[in-house]
Amino acid sequence: MGSSDRLFNRQRTIHQILGGDLVADVMLWRQKNLTVGILVVILAAWVVFERSGYTLLSLTSSVFFAPVYHSFSLGKISSYFKQAMHFSTILHSYSNLFLSWIRICSI
């Protein structure tokens, strides 16, 4: 009757039902290297979160709190040395950091 790659004897294959693109290939293990890579990254992220005791929310808040802490520390240090630390200098350093991070991620 129908071929073995059809779901419930339908007209379309499972690959077509799942979209027929890269997502379907990964879900059906047609691109084994990519599927294993995704599973390894998910497993590594789970192990890191499990071992460190962090949740996604606590890690995100810690990452966003770091620039605030850094700005506060720079302000306190500049007050000890009686020098005015301009906000534009701090903002410029963070914008350079953000732009370099964007360049690294886009490679």
* pLDDT of res. 56: 83
Q: At 33, is the pLDDT very low, low, confident or very high (cuts 50, 70, 90)?
A: very high
**Tens digit of each residue's pLDDT (9 = 90 or more) over 66-96:** 888 887 887 777 777 766 656 556 666 667 7
Q: At 42, is the pLDDT very low, low, confident or very high (cuts 50, 70, 90)?
A: very high
Distance CA 58, CA 63 (A): 9
Determine if the pTM surpasses 0.85.
no
* pLDDT of res. 26: 87
What lies within 8 Å, CB to CB, of 6 at 6+ separation is: 12, 13, 14
Q: Per-residue pLDDT for 1 more than 50?
A: no
What lies within 8 Å, CB to CB, of 18 at 6+ separation is: 24, 27, 28
Which residue's structure tokens are 């620039």?
67
* pLDDT of res. 43: 94
**Average model confidence (pLDDT) across the chain:** 78
The residue type of 12 is R
Q: Per-residue pLDDT for 97 more than 60?
A: yes
Please give the share of the chain, as a percent, with pLDDT higher than 90: 12
54 by Cβ neighbours in 10 Å (0-12 / 13-18 / 19+) ranks as middle
Cβ density class 68-93: b for 16+ within 10 Å, e for less? eeebeeeeeeeeeeeeeeeeeebeee
